[in-house]
Amino acid sequence: MKSVSSSLTSSSNAIEHRCDVLIIGSGAAGLSLALKLADHCQVIVLSKSDRNEGSTRYAQGGIAAVFDEQDSIEAHVRDTLKAGGDLCEEKAVRFTAEKAKEALSWLIEYGVPFDTETTESGEERFHLTREGGHSHRRILHAADATGEALQITLNDAVSVHPNIHIFERYNAIDLIPSKTQKGHCTGAYVWNRQQEHVEVIRAPFIALATGGGSKVYQYTSNPDVSSGDGIAMAWRAGCRVANMEFNQFHPTCLYHPQARNFLITEALRGEGANLCHADGTRFMKKFDERGDLAPRDVVARAIDYEMKRLGQDCMYLDISHKPADFIVKHFPNIYRKCRSLGIDITREPIPVVPAAHYSCGGVMTDFNAKTDLENVYAIGEVAYTGLHGANRMASNSLLECIVFARSAAEHILQRLNTVTYEEPIPPWDESQVSDSDEEVIIQHNWHELRLFMWDYVGIVRTDKRLERAMRRIKLLEQEIHEYYAHFKVSNNLLELRNLVTVAELIVRCAMQRKESRGLHFNLDHPNQIEDAKPTVLKPKGSKNECTVGSLTT
């Protein structure tokens, strides 16, 4: 086993790090992969902010797996396929459901504090809750802050492992294609945010675990780091992407000027909360026979429709009919947050609005999480595995992270001694660029992109809206490319460059789907077509020579 090394290349003043596996992203997917690998090799984990600031930390609901004897893997598969709008890859769904209990047992061994309860016979067991789309209680959770509990547990384990090296406040810029082995990458260019210079990390294996790209929308439940970096980097390196038109809007984000990005978990509805108007009138039954337990896409569209129909800023979620001690015990985080804003959820309803939440599409992978590039993997929200189809079912996301991280680790370990790269890596050239003197351009483009994506490519779409969005994307791409070519990189510039790529991929996928299915709803094509397929985009040219914006299917 080699050790991580760092060196200064005298000819270019470039810093180069070496490891066995480079993991870009420090959420549930990245840290799980690191822990599964680290007993056998040296791992670098790249974190764009501090290691806690990712989507995992903010996941409230839980992780789905069959622990109840009354439940079954077949039921989990069936529910997922139905929620996915008949566009899931059934083999991927079954693969994930079958490995779910083993994956969660691994987390339990690490000490993730899932809630338990005592039965009438005195036996202690895990408390299982139910969320939209699930036919049984199968959600393991840690109160209403499962993601935070998971992140803390994984961080604690990673911190004490001598073979895992966390590089915090580093942006990945691009994968570095091999000059001698087609379809391979030798490492990545990364930007050290603290020192403000570009470095190289050389690794025979690379895993993208960067999360989704919901920051492309004006309103999102996700943290600031969710800027689609891994999707854009993989696309530029020659990987196919799929189903980018399916962006999940969480139906219930807290509506309050002082509560940016705060989610109200679906588990509230699982425990009996009702969606209603300001006067308490319930409305979900007129949209779906499952009522308040309908899948997220149905609920988000219903809330959006009622808000627009009535000219209201929000709808309401009411669980106040439940006992107060029950609410406080099961949803302490939400209770405290709302209470701090003057909302007592034991006595009054919670104001809610939909917000961009989860990217169901991403970089195409196989069941080993391997992409089209021979030594590059993608895990978690950045990836398209076929699990989610046209709509992600609640609490399948963290599950996907753990299951595919474990699968990727097994595949990498089998190949660990078969891949080496000693070829020279071109140094990062900043000789022709300067410090920006017009940062306002980035800020303006940033706001313009997120606003028209929200207005034109949001919960409800039309052909004309998509065409308008694409015209604006093309103009922004030209401006951003020119800016990127002339000025030194910065966090905002790197994220904007990636987000405009993600925006184009979303719009191109949406323009190709001439139907309404799952999370993609187009007023010009309101019906479903028969024998629908995933939308797959392939970069033009060879795997290592593609042009962003030139797509074929």
188 and 283 share one domain: no
Mean pLDDT in residue range 507-515 = 98
Please report, for the domain that includes residue 496, its CATH number.
1.20.58.100
Q: Is 59 among the domain residues?
A: yes
503 and 449 share one domain: yes
User: Of residues 296, 406, 513, 517, which has the active-site annotation?
Assistant: 296
Count the domains in the chain: 3
- Residue 543 pLDDT more than 70? no
- Residue 264 pLDDT more than 50? yes
**Cα end-to-end span (Å), the chain:** 42
Whether 296 is a known active-site residue: answer yes
522 and 444 share one domain: yes
Query: For residue 289, what are the contacts with CB-CB under 8 A and spacing of at least 6?
Result: none
Kind of pairing, strands 241-242 and 536-539?
antiparallel
Angle at 330 between CA 101 and CA 142, to 5 degrees: 35
pLDDT at 7: 63
Q: Is the pTM of this model over 0.85?
A: yes
238 and 367 share one domain: yes
Strand partners, 317: 275, 350
In what order do the strands lie in the sheet containing 21-24?
A: 164-168, 43-47, 21-24, 205-208, 376-378
pLDDT at 203: 96
Query: Could you give the CA distance from residue 538 to residue 101 in angstroms, rounded to a whole number?
Result: 35
212 and 282 share one domain: no
Q: Is 108 among the domain residues?
A: no
Q: What's the pLDDT tens digit per position in 185-234? A: 999 999 999 998 999 999 999 999 999 999 999 888 888 888 999 999 99
pLDDT at 365: 98
Q: What's the pLDDT tens digit per position in 299-344? A: 988 998 898 889 898 999 999 999 999 999 999 999 999 999 999 9
pLDDT at 546: 33
Ramachandran region, residue 386 (left: φ > 0; alpha: ψ -120 to 50; beta: rest) = left
457 and 447 share one domain: yes
Q: Is 49 among the domain residues?
A: yes
Among 255, 249, 251, residue whose Cα is nearest residue 269: 251
For the beta carbon of residue 388, count every other beta carbon within 10 angstroms.
Answer: 33
Q: Is 135 among the domain residues?
A: no
Q: Is 498 among the domain residues?
A: yes
pLDDT at 548: 29
Which of 6-10, 34-38, 146-150, 456-460 bottoms out in mean pLDDT, i.e. has the lowest? 6-10
Please report, for the domain that includes residue 260, its CATH number.
3.90.700.10
- Residue 74 pLDDT more than 60? yes
> 227: domain range?
5-65+144-246+358-415
Q: What's the pLDDT tens digit per position in 368-427? A: 999 999 999 999 999 999 999 999 988 999 999 999 999 999 999 999 988 777 888 888
